[in-house]
Amino acid sequence: MTEAPIEPGIVIVSAGLRTPSSTRLLADEIGAAGVGALAAAGRSAQIRTIELREHAHAIADALLTGFPAGALRSAVDDVASADALVVVSPTFSASYSGLFKSFFDLFEAGALSDVPTILAATGGTERHSLVLEHALRPLLVYLGASPVRTAVYAATSDFGGEGAGRLRARIERAAAELAAAIARSGFLDRRQPDAYDDVVPFEELLREGDPGGRRP
Measuring CA to CA, which residue among 6, 158, 139 is closest to residue 85? 139
Region 3-29: what's the mean pLDDT?
A: 87
Sign of the Cα pseudo-torsion (130, 135, 141, 146, in order): negative
Model-level pTM? 0.83
Helical (H) or strand (E) element with 170: helix 162-184
Distances from the Cα of 212 to the Cαs of 25, 201, 202, 203, 215, in angstroms? 67, 18, 17, 14, 8
pLDDT at residue 22 tops 90: yes
pLDDT tens column, 29-66: 999 999 999 999 888 889 999 999 999 999 999 999 99
- Non-local (6+) Cβ contacts of 29 within 8 A are 168, 171
In the predicted model, is pLDDT for residue 90 greater than 60? yes
Mean pLDDT of 161-188: 88
Percent of the chain with pLDDT over 90: 69
What whole-number distance in Å separates Cα of residue 192 and Cα of residue 157?
45
Nearest Cα to Cα of residue 183 among 82, 79, 84: 84
Contact 37, 179 (CB under 8 A): yes
71 pLDDT tier (thresholds 50, 70, 90): very high
The partner residues of 153 in beta bridges, in order of sequence, read 121
| Extended beta strands in the chain, E state | 9-14, 46-51, 84-92, 95-96, 116-123, 146-147, 152-155
Q: Are strands 46-51 and 9-14 parallel, antiparallel or unpaired?
A: parallel
Q: What percent of the chain has pLDDT over 70?
A: 83
Name which of 150, 157, 160 is nearest 120 in CA terms: 150
Let me know: does 86 contact 30? Beta carbons within 8 Å. yes
Distance CA 43, CA 46 (A): 10
Select from 185, 190, 171 the least CA-distant residue to 37: 171
Is the pLDDT at 172 greater than 90? The verdict is yes
Q: What does the mean pLDDT of the chain come to?
A: 87
SS3 assignment, position 13: strand
Q: Please give the single-letter amino acid code of residue 182.
A: I
Across residues 107-111, what is the average pLDDT? 94
What count of residues does the chain have? 216
